[in-house]
Amino acid sequence: MSEGLKFVQEELNDSVKLSLFGEVDIYTSQELKEKLYSIVDNNQTDLIIDCKELNYIDSTGLGIFVGALKKTKQYGKKIVITSLKDNIKKLFIITGLDKVFVIE
């Protein structure tokens, strides 16, 4: 069972920072999708996703990140993913998403 997912959104000068806390899986992915898409559509700025407190993400969550990136690129903007834990960073490398996203 999922431990849940929480967000903290922060408006910066030229971007929006979304900090994720918990897990992204089949149970929480729809909530993440709605949040990311809403930020992208309403702000049309670069999006920083802080994953320092993200403990787990499955393929559903990775797919939502990709969908959000496609929407962001429609506005000529980008997604920057920061502070990935090693286990999650490995998923990005294995899937090749480390070449698609800006990872810091």
Rg of the Cα atoms in the chain: 12
Span 57-99, pLDDT tens digits: 999 999 999 999 999 999 999 999 999 999 999 999 999 999 9
Domain chopping of the chain, boundaries: 5-103
What CATH number is given for 5-103 in this structure?
Answer: 3.30.750.24
User: In whole angstroms, what is the distance from residue 55 CA to residue 77 CA?
Assistant: 27
**DSSP tag of 36:** H
User: In whole angstroms, what is the distance from residue 82 CA to residue 52 CA?
Assistant: 7
In which element (H, E) is residue 61 found?
A: helix 59-74
User: In whole angstroms, what is the distance from residue 13 CA to residue 45 CA?
Assistant: 10
User: In whole angstroms, what is the distance from residue 88 CA to residue 77 CA?
Assistant: 24
Q: Residue with structure tokens 């999922």?
A: 2
Span 7-63, pLDDT tens digits: 999 999 999 999 999 999 999 999 999 999 999 999 889 999 999 999 999 999 999
Which one is predicted more confidently, 1 or 7? 7
What local confidence, expressed as pLDDT, does residue 44 receive? 84
